[in-house]
């Protein structure tokens, strides 16, 4: 098993984040710092991260949180700001799957399974994410077609999505948009390049999971069958 996969299965972080942690020299194999994510872990190897010996997690846990505004989506914050992990009382090494910016509310998944996180975040798997945005004005048919085809959103990237619904009232509209790529701040960047001011942004669904009646700041653990659906099993 590759070292980055071992870290992911030990609940340290996603596979991609594990690559970074290994390359930064935070992991030792048999008391020696190893910076190669592709190192093949042997049966008797002693792997440590941040001074703690790692063991493979036998059971995956996943939590669903309705993230409030002004909460940071990260495992830890050097500025002492409130993070999504502050809401989950657990002794496991947890981390969020993907990110929502501090002004975006809604469904964020938190787990100890880096393999699951890697699967859900990888663009090739096209996991749908649904967002509800309140915007200035409304999207016309050309705007909607641009979003579906792909619109330049800066930094050499294109944002793509499907406008599922639009309800317009006076000078504002509520749109429901489905994304399947997961680029950084993708919804906000799409709407920025369409010259639409965003008054609020809320994620309501991730894959097959919906927030339901969870209030801001509330969370629940996923059932085994829900986790299996996320894992596509």
Backbone torsions φ then ψ of 66, nearest 5 degrees: -90, 95
Q: In sequence order, what are the residues at sequence separation of 6 or more whose Cβ sits closer than 8 angstroms to the Cβ of residue 89?
A: none
224 is catalytic: no
CA separation for the pair 63, 108 (Å, rounded): 8
63's CB contacts (< 8 A; 6+ apart) are 88, 90, 94, 109, 110, 111, 219, 220, 221, 222
Closest CA to 21 of 75, 87, 59: 75
> What is the distance between the terminal CA atoms of the chain, rounded to a whole angstrom?
21
Instruction: Give the integer Cα–Cα distance in Å for 152 and 178.
Output: 17
Marked catalytic residue, from 101, 103, 112, 143: 101
Which residues on adjacent β-strands are paired with residue 40? Answer: 2
Q: In b/e form, how buried is each residue of 167-186, taking b as 16+ CB within 10 angstroms?
A: eeeeeebbbbbebebbbebb
DSSP bridge partners of 27: 49
**Which residues are known catalytic residues?**
101
């Amino acid at each position: 098993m590759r070292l980055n996969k071992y870290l992911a299965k030990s609940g340290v972080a996603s596979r991609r984040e594990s690559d970074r942690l290994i390359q930064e020299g935070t992991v030792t194999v048999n008391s020696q710092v190893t910076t190669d994510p592709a190192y093949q872990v042997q049966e008797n190897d002693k792997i440590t991260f941040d001074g703690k010996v790692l063991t493979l997690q036998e059971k995956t846990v996943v939590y669903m949180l309705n993230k409030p505004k002004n909460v940071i989506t990260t495992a830890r914050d050097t500025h002492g700001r409130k993070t999504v992990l502050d809401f989950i009382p657990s002794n496991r090494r947890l981390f969020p799957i993907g990110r929502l910016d501090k002004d975006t509310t809604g469904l964020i998944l938190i787990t100890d399974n880096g393999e699951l996180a890697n699967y859900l975040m990888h663009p090739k798997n096209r996991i749908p994410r649904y967002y509800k945005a309140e915007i200035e004005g409304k999207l016309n048919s050309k705007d909607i077609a641009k979003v579906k085809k792909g619109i330049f959103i800066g930094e050499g990237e294109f944002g793509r999505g499907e406008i599922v619904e639009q309800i317009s009232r006076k000078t504002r509209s509520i749109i429901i948009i489905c994304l399947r790529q997961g680029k950084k701040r993708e919804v906000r960047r799409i709407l920025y390049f369409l010259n639409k001011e965003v008054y609020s942004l809320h994620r309501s669904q991730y894959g097959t999971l919906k927030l339901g009646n969870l209030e801001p700041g509330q969370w629940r653990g996923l059932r085994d069958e829900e986790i299996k659906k996320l894992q596509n099993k």
